[in-house]
C-alpha cells in the first residue's frame, strides 16, 4: 500500500501500521530496512537520492518521522536520540533573555534541563500549577517565549487544559509545546487543540517495549521545522537507524496497546481507590478526580499511569510496597508492555529540590505505577499482596 495514498483518509490504527512507510524500492521488503550507513554515494556533487550524510537524514529515520507526524496530525516530525534531546533542541532555539513558563508537576529531567542547564545560559523558567489558569497568566512576562505543558503530568497525573492555555499563550505571542509522552497521539492530539509543538519521549508508549531510548518533536510550523532541523544537523542528537526501526515497530501496535493499558489502569485505579490502606489515588479516570471532566473532553481515554499514597504517610511502608511487588518491577521509565512501579522522590524526580516537590504536592511517599498490558487479575493480586505486607 502506498503510504501517501492512505494518509489523507485512513483512521488511526491503519495510519499507525502504515503511515510514513512503503515497501523498499530495491527489494520489496515490507518492513522499512535498517539503513545502517553513515553516508550516501553521490553521482556528481549535489546529485543524490535525497540523503547526503546520516547525521542530517537516514531513510529509516525518515520513515519514523513520517509515521509520528501523521499520528500527531503534523506536517513534519523530527526524531531525536532521546526525549530530553528533543526538549533540548526546542529550548536551544530560544535566546538568552527569553523566559519559559512551565508546570510545577513535570518530568524531573525536564526541570533539570530548564533549571540547571539553561538558566546559566540566561534562559529563565517559572514552574507553576498549570491546572490554575490564573497562576499561569500571572507567571507570564514580556520576555516569555515558550509555554511548556505536560499533560497528564508526571508524576501527579494532573490534566492541563491544552486549548485554554494555548489561547492564553497565543494572545501573548507565546508558542506552546506539549509533552504528549503520557497520553500518546492515540489518546490526545495537542496540535488539534491549538499547541504549536508536540514533544515525545518515544522511549515510552510509542516504542512500547522498554528496549529503546528516543524522542521526537512534531509540528506544522515551517519556521519551527527549520529551527529544529538546523538544531539536529548542528548539534547532532540523532537517533540511530536501529533505534528508529524499533520505535517504528512499536508504533504499529500503539492503538492496541493503549486500549489495554487504559482498561487495566481503570480497573487498578478502582481497586486502589477502594483499598483501606491506600490514601489518595491520582488517576483522571476516577470520577472524583479533579481532572476527570477535562480528561473526558480532551482525551480518548485516561491513560495507563496511576500514582497513589498510603493512608499512613510512612516512608518504610511505602518502601515495603515498592519492594514487595512480584509482577510490577521496580524501575524508572514507563509505557512498556510490562508493569513498573516507581518512587518519584528518589528516582525520576530526585533532581527537583525537596521543598519545591512538596509544595507541588509530590510527597516523599508517592508511589507511581506504569500499568502494563498483562492480565489485570495478576496485577490486582500483585498489588493486593504487596499492600497486605505493610
Ligand atoms: O528518557 P527520555 O527519552 O530522554 O525522555 C525524557 C522524558 C520526557 N518527558 C516525559 C514526560 C518523561 O516522562 C520523560 C522520561 N521519563 C522517565 C524516564 C520517567 O520514568 O518518568
Q: What is the pLDDT of residues 186-221, one digit of tens each?
A: 999 999 999 999 999 999 999 999 999 999 999 999
204 catalytic residue (yes or no): yes
Residue 329 alpha carbon to ligand 1 centre in Å: 17
Together in a domain, 207 and 297: no
Same domain, 17 and 37: yes
Q: Which of 179, 243, 289, 382 is catalytic?
A: 179
Q: Are 207 and 214 in contact (CB under 8 A)?
A: yes
Give the residue, out of 84, 89, 90, 107, with the most ligand 1 atoms within 8 A of its beta carbon, to mutate for a pocket test. 107
Q: Give the ligand 1 atom nearest the CA of 150.
A: 11
Q: How far is 211 from 268, CA to CA, in rounded Å?
A: 25
| Nearest CA owner, ligand 1 atom 17 | 333
Write phi, then psi, for 333 (nearest 5 degrees). 85, 180
Q: Which atom of ligand 1 is closest in space to residue 332's alpha carbon?
A: 20
- pLDDT score, position 2: 43
Catalytic option among 92, 107, 282, 283:
107
279: left (phi over 0), alpha (psi -120 to 50) or beta: alpha
Protein residue closest via CA to atom 5 of ligand 1: 83
Q: How many domains does the chain have?
A: 2
Asked which of 251, 285, 304 is the last residue of a domain, the reply is 251
Same domain, 223 and 342: no
pLDDT at 386: 98
Of all atoms in ligand 1, which is nearest to the CA of residue 182?
11
CB 292, CB 157: distance < 8 Å: no
Low-confidence ranges of the chain (pLDDT < 50): 1-3
Active site residue 55: yes
**Is the domain of 246 the same as that of 329?**
no
Write the residue with the smallest CA distance to atom 3 of ligand 1. Answer: 83
Q: Domain of 168?
A: 5-251
Is residue 239 domain-shared with residue 339, that is, in the same domain?
no
- The CA 333 to ligand 1 mean position distance, Å, reads 7
Last-in-domain residue among 204, 235, 251: 251
Residues enclosing ligand 1, CB less than 6 A?
82-84, 107, 109-110, 150, 154, 179, 181-182, 201, 203, 213, 215, 332-334, 348
> What's the CA-to-centroid distance between 67 and ligand 1, angstroms?
21
Q: Are residues 273 and 327 in the same domain?
A: yes
The catalytically annotated residue of 22, 24, 55, 317 is 55
Write out the E strands in the chain: 76-80, 99-103, 124-128, 144-150, 175-179, 197-201, 215-219, 278-282, 305-310, 329-330, 340-342, 367-370
Find the CATH number of the domain harbouring 308.
3.90.1150.10
Ligand 1 atom nearest to 203, measured from its CA: 3
CATH number of the CATH domain containing 223:
3.40.640.10
Do residues 233 and 259 both lie within one domain? no
327-378 confidence digits (pLDDT tens): 999 999 999 999 999 999 999 999 999 999 999 999 999 999 999 999 999 9
Let me know whether 24 and 61 are in one domain: yes
Asked if residue 44 lies in contact with residue 69, where contact means CB atoms within 8 angstroms, the answer is no
Cell of 377: 487479575
Ligand 1 centre and the CA of 312: distance in Å?
29
| Residue at which a domain ends, from 226, 251, 276 | 251
**Which residues are CB-neighbours of 117 under 8 A, at least 6 positions away?**
88
Q: Are residues 277 and 375 in the same domain?
A: yes
What is the Cα–Cα distance from 235 to 81, expressed in whole angstroms? 11
Q: How far is CA 233 from CA 53, 54, 78, 226, 382, in A?
A: 10, 10, 11, 11, 47
37 with 103, same domain: the answer is yes
What pLDDT is recorded for position 289? Answer: 98
pTM of the entire predicted model: 0.98
Same domain, yes or no: 263 and 222? no
Q: How many A from CA of 185 to the centre of ligand 1?
A: 16
Question: Counting every residue, how long is the chain?
Answer: 390
Residue nearest to atom 12 of ligand 1 (CA): 107
Residues 184 and 207 occupy one common structural domain: yes
282 catalytic per annotation? no
Residue 105 is a catalytic residue: no
Q: How far apart are CA 91 and CA 75, in angstroms?
A: 21
Amino acid at each position: 500500500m502506498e503510504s501517501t495514498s492512505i494518509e489523507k483518509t485512513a483512521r488511526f490504527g491503519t495510519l499507525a501500521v502504515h503511515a510514513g512507510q512503503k515497501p523498499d524500492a530495491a527489494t520489496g521488503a515490507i518492513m522499512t530496512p535498517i539503513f545502517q550507513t553513515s553516508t550516501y554515494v553521490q553521482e556528481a556533487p549535489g546529485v543524490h537520492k535525497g540523503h547526503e550524510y546520516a547525521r542530517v537524514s537516514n531513510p529509516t529515520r525518515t520513515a519514523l518521522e513520517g509515521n509520528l507526524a501523521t499520528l500527531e496530525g503534523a506536517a513534519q516530525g523530527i526524531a531525536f536520540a532521546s526525549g530530553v534531546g528533543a526538549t533540548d533542541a526546542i529550548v536551544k532555539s530560544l535566546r538568552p533573555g527569553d523566559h519559559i513558563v512551565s508546570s510545577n508537576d513535570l518530568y524531573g529531567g525536564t526541570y533539570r534541563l530548564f533549571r540547571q542547564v539553561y538558566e546559566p545560559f540566561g534562559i529563565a523558567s517559572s514552574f507553576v500549577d498549570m491546572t490554575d489558569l490564573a497562576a499561569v497568566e500571572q507567571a507570564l512576562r514580556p520576555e516569555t517565549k515558550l509555554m511548556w505543558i505536560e499533560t497528564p503530568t508526571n508524576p501527579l497525573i494532573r490534566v492541563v487544559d491544552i486549548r485554554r492555555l494555548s489561547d492564553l499563550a497565543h494572545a501573548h505571542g507565546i508558542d506552546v509545546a506539549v509533552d504528549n509522552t503520557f497520553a500518546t497521539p492515540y489518546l490526545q492530539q495537542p496540535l488539534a487543540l491549538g499547541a504549536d509543538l508536540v514533544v515525545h519521549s518515544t522511549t515510552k508508549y510509542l516504542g512500547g517495549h522498554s528496549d529503546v531510548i528516543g524522542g521526537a518533536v512534531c509540528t506544522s510550523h515551517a519556521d519551527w521545522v527549520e529551527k529544529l532541523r538546523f538544531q539536529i544537523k548542528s548539534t547532532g542528537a540523532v537517533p540511530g537507524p536501529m533505534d528508529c526501526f524499533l520505535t517504528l515497530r512499536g508504533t504499529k501496535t500503539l492503538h492496541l496497546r493503549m486500549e489495554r493499558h487504559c482498561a487495566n489502569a481503570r480497573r487498578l485505579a478502582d481497586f486502589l481507590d477502594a483499598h483501606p490502606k491506600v490514601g489518595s489515588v491520582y488517576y483522571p479516570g476516577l470520577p472524583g478526580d479533579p481532572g476527570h471532566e477535562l480528561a473526558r473532553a480532551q482525551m480518548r481515554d485516561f491513560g495507563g499511569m496511576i500514582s497513589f499514597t498510603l493512608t499512613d504517610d510512612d516512608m518504610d511502608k511505602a518502601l515495603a510496597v515498592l519492594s514487595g511487588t512480584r509482577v510490577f518491577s521496580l524501575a524508572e521509565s514507563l509505557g512498556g508492555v510490562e508493569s513498573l512501579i516507581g518512587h518519584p522522590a528518589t528516582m525520576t524526580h530526585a533532581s527537583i529540590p525537596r521543598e519545591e516537590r512538596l509544595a507541588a504536592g509530590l510527597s516523599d511517599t508517592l508511589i507511581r505505577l506504569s500499568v502494563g498490558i498483562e492480565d489485570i487479575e495478576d496485577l490486582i493480586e500483585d498489588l493486593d499482596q504487596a499492600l497486605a505486607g505493610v
